[in-house]
Amino acid sequence: MRRLCLLLLLLAALPARAQFACDTLERRAFRPSQLIAPGVLVGAGLGVHYFGHEAIEIPLNDYVQQDLRRGGEAPFHDIGTYVQYVPSAMHLGLGLAGCRASHSFLDRAIESSVSHLLAFGLSRIPKYLFHSLRPDGGDYKSFPSGHTILAFTGAELVRMDYGPLWGAGAYAMGIYTAADRIYGNRHWLGDVLAGAGLGILAAHAGEWLLKPVKSLLSIPDCSWDGLGGRRVQLAVVPYADPLSSSYLTSISIQF
């Protein structure tokens, strides 16, 4: 688990010293290609869960619970409960902090609200339809992973509005959330794969519905975005503390 944490921290460092000028970004309309990644992930999740449960999910769960957790729980265990919200907060907050986005704060707020409303429905309704038992036997609401849906909804919104560098950091948090759900014995592999796909789909749907929602509610355009007119430099450096043997992260932001 420590190696996984270090890997995710390194992925989060990809936006280091990044400057992103988003005047090259354009508002996107629906494209069929946007359904590929969600379709593959949801299809893989369903396939693994219902056709590879005995061959893939159970052996993986046994390895995680019996081998990886043999020496006790990892120091970062269960922070995925909180990390799941970080990408969504990044989507709204980065622009206010000065990072240029492809949508104004108002548009991002509408886009985020629609996306998360859809994500909530996509995380709740299938749980009752599929009635899948969790690995720990706690209840029958395993498929899909709601935590993963929320994390990947925020991550894809960040990628679409701020570009691939910021998106990589947000996706690292989404991947950590998914891994933590498996490590915590709350979900199977198929649950988090499907959750990732549904989260990405919800994010795209929020963008597709942005203009129709604004038109329906007669919401005018608003270009205000806090410090959005200024450039921001971000440095994220993961490192290990030799005294506590813990993995830490140093974050520096220059406006």
Distance set, CA 77 to CA 55, 108, 120, 180 (Å):
26, 31, 24, 7
Residue 60: give the domain boundaries: 2-15+36-254
Query: What domain count does the chain have?
Result: 1
- The stretch 57-69 carries a mean pLDDT of 90
Does 30 reside within a domain? no
Does 108 reside within a domain? yes
Structure tokens at 157: 């919104």
Does 6 reside within a domain? yes
Does 31 reside within a domain? no
Does 157 reside within a domain? yes
Closest CA to 20 of 154, 160, 153: 160
pLDDT (tens digit per residue) in 222-253: 776 665 545 545 565 666 666 665 656 666 65
pLDDT (tens digit per residue) in 137-195: 999 999 999 999 999 999 999 999 999 999 999 999 999 999 999 999 999 999 999 99
Task: Quote the pLDDT of residue 75.
Answer: 57
* pTM of the entire predicted model: 0.77
pLDDT (tens digit per residue) in 7-46: 444 444 444 333 333 333 444 578 889 999 999 999 999 9
